[in-house]
Amino acid sequence: MSSGHAPIVVSGAGDRVTMVTRGVLLAITVGAWVHVVSSPGAHGDMVMEESPATLAAATAYVVGWAVMMAAMMLPSALPMVALYAVIQRSAGTAGPRGVPVALFTLVYLGLWAATGVPVYVASTLLEDVESDLLPYALALLLVAAGIYQMSPLKQVCLRACRSPLGFLLGRWRPGLLGSLALGWSHAVYCVGCCWALMVVLVAAGAMGLAWVLLIAVLVTAEKLLPHGEWIARGAGAALVLLGLAVALRPDLTMLLRHGHVM
């Protein structure tokens, strides 16, 4: 399983199950993106509003985060899910063919949705940081995210995401419990691969549409394009430089978070 090769995508366009799987995932992705782009806060803070930290506010935030994660993460997960559908069909699994694939996908999306809880807590705490300290907190987060992007752990997680066949064959388990375990394992590796970029999304961009699009493109490029590991490292170096720039020029904070300087 070499990280220097493009990810393996199994050709299953003629298989009805594979075609249906891809069609459903594409429909979910398109619907999620339509919601993200058309949301009232699409040009600013997409989910976080200036309201007290209540259960209703937290629920709305997590739901919005879950929809956004579906839009951002499903395109790069499509090869893995489609290949899983092909292997399930070849294995002759008893019962409805779509159930294991649905479980696999739901577990994947469920874990990403669950990350909205700590993200909401972190966003609330970030909003309470004193304005004169906010640039340095932001700079620290950017540098930390950049360092992680270049770390060996990031590369381990990225290789798992970039090699669907090796990942599935190396961890294959039959039955519905196997689908749950595989979906969970894939989700854990994916979160391990992308969490630092989501920190940047929340901290720097306040989940504005421009940052959402940028991070979504970067995630997809890392996982699907040749030499994605170098794309990840390049993004990490850029984040470190951006963090240092914010530390030296605190006025850049407003530009990053709201699109204008103080």
Distance CA 132, CA 140 (A): 14
Mean pLDDT in residue range 108-114: 94
Type of residue numbered 126: L
Q: Are 88 and 101 in contact (CB under 8 A)?
A: yes
* pLDDT score, position 24: 82
Type of residue numbered 44: G
Q: Which of 27-31, 120-124, 141-145 is predicted with the least confidence, judged by mean pLDDT? A: 120-124
* pLDDT score, position 57: 81
Q: Which of 9-18, 68-77, 250-259 is predicted with the least confidence, judged by mean pLDDT? A: 9-18
pTM of the model: 0.81
Distance CA 127, CA 258 (A): 13
Angle, CA of 85, 89 and 93, to the nearest 5°: 110
Mean pLDDT in residue range 204-231: 85
* pLDDT score, position 241: 95
Mean pLDDT in residue range 165-178: 85
Q: Which of 174-178, 210-214, 257-261 is predicted with the least confidence, judged by mean pLDDT? A: 257-261
Helix (H, G, I), strand (E, B) or coil at 31: helix
Q: Which of 1-5, 148-152, 161-165 is predicted with the least confidence, judged by mean pLDDT? A: 1-5
Distance CA 199, CA 93 (A): 39
pLDDT above 70: percentage of residues in the chain:
81
* pLDDT score, position 87: 82
* pLDDT score, position 21: 73
If one compares 221 and 92, the residue with the highest pLDDT of the two is 221
